[in-house]
Amino acid sequence: MLVRDDFWHKSEEQLIDVLLKSDNSEILDILNRLEKGDFGQKTGEKVFKKFRYIDPLVNVNNKLTRLSKLDTEYSQKIKNARKQNALGILV
């Protein structure tokens, strides 16, 4: 059994371990669905969300430059995420 203090003093792994050792079938079912990415019945409606990302300023020779300008791999990850986001998500 978990108590409120556990959320302050135990790691996420420890909390999940307690839940997995539970004999509560409802909790185990929810954990199993979360692990599989099964969040319930979908309506088939496509929604679009605002694209959010982090592209921090980096100090290079006393000049601030966006990380994406310095690191092509990071820049490509942002571009790929933006494309994926533009497709929307089914709910």
- Of 50, 49, 69, nearest to 58 by C-alpha is 69
**Rounded to two decimals, what is the model's pTM?**
0.55
**pLDDT tens digit sequence for 21-31:** 988 999 999 88
Rounded to an integer, what distance in angstroms lies between the CA atom of residue 89 and that of residue 57? 30
Q: CA-CA distances (angstroms) from residue 81 to 55, 59, 87, 88?
A: 13, 25, 10, 11
**pLDDT tens digit sequence for 30-51:** 888 888 877 777 777 889 999 9
* Helix (H) or strand (E) run with residue 20 in it: helix 12-20
